[in-house]
Chain A
Amino acid sequence: AQKVTQAQTEISVVEKEDVTLDCVYETRDTTYYLFWYKQPPSGELVFLIRRNSFDEQNEISGRYSWNFQKSTSSFNFTITASQVVDSAVYFCALSGWVSQGAQKLVFGQGTRLTINP
C-alpha cells in the first residue's frame, strides 16, 4: 500500500524567507510518480509538478524548487523568497497502481503555509 506523510501540519514564516515543505512516501512499486498540488484559500487544487521515480534530478521553476531523493523516499518542496500569495495548503501525492494498469493518487495530509507580510 502507498502512503504519503507530510509531518509539518502548519508553517508560518515572514515574507521573503525561504521555506521547505517536507514529504516522505512509502511504496513498493518500482515505477511511480510524485506530485505537488497547491490549494489556495479559494479551494481549488492546482497542479504544480509531477516527478517520475526514475528521474532524481532536482527541478526549479522560478521561486519553486523540488528535491527528490529516492534513498530517503523524500520529495521536498522549497519556496525561495516567499510571498504572501504563496499562502495555501500544499499537498504531496503519490501515484499508486490499482487493477488493470490504472493509477490513483494517494495524498498526504497537507501542510498549511502562511506567509506573513
Chain B
Amino acid sequence: DSGVTQTPKHLITATGQRVTLRCSPRSGDLSVYWYQQSLDQGLQFLIQYYNGEERAKGNILERFSAQQFPDLHSELNLSSLELGDSALYFCASSPSLGGNTYEQYFGPGTRLTVT
C-alpha cells in the first residue's frame, strides 16, 4: 500500500458526460501528479500540483482540469467525455518537487470506461 488513495476505483459513464476523480496524497506529501494510462498512449503525464498551485502541465486536454485543495487532496475533472478517454487514471504524490527526496508513489488508479 503506497498510502495514496483514489476514488472511485471504477467508473462507467456515457459520452458527453462529466466525471470527477479524487486523490488523497500520502501523509506529508505536498506534490500531486495525474497520469493517464491507455493501451495506445502508454503512461502519460497530465498535470502536477504542489501545495495548491499548478506547477507543470503535460499532455492534458482542454476538456480536462484539475485542482488541489487546502487539505492537499486533488480532483481531476474530465468533461465532454469521448470513447477515447477510456483509460486508467493514476494519481501519484511526492514529498518534494525534486532533489534527493524525489520519488513518486502511485495510487491504485481509477479505471474509467466511456460507453
Please report A residues at the B interface, Cβ cutoff 8 Å: 33, 35, 37, 43-47, 50, 52, 91, 95, 97-110
Contacts and interface: CB of A to CB of B under 8 A. Distances in A.
Nearest to B57: A98
A51 to B, nearest CB: 11
Nearest to A49: B103
B88 A104 contact: no
A108 B55 CA distance: 23
B111 interface: yes
A37 B100 CA distance: 18
B103 A100 contact: no
Interface of B: prevailing SS = strand
A84 B18 CA distance: 40
A45 B106 contact: yes
A115 B19 CA distance: 38
Nearest to A43: B109
A107 B33 CA distance: 14
Given A98-B55, A109-B42, 8 more contacts: A33-B102, A35-B104, A46-B106, A52-B100, A100-B55, A103-B102, A105-B33, A106-B45
Contact of A104 (B56, B90, B105, B106): B56
Contacts of B58: 104
Contacts of A37: 106
Contacts of B25: none
Pick from A43, A99, A109 the residue with the most CB of B within 10 Å.
A43
Interface string B10-54: 000000000000000000000101000000001101001010000
Contacts of A50: 102-103
Contacts of A109: 42
Contacts of A105: 33, 45, 92, 104
A104 B108 contact: no
B65 interface: no
Pick from B33, B48, B55, B104 the residue with the most CB of A within 10 Å.
B104
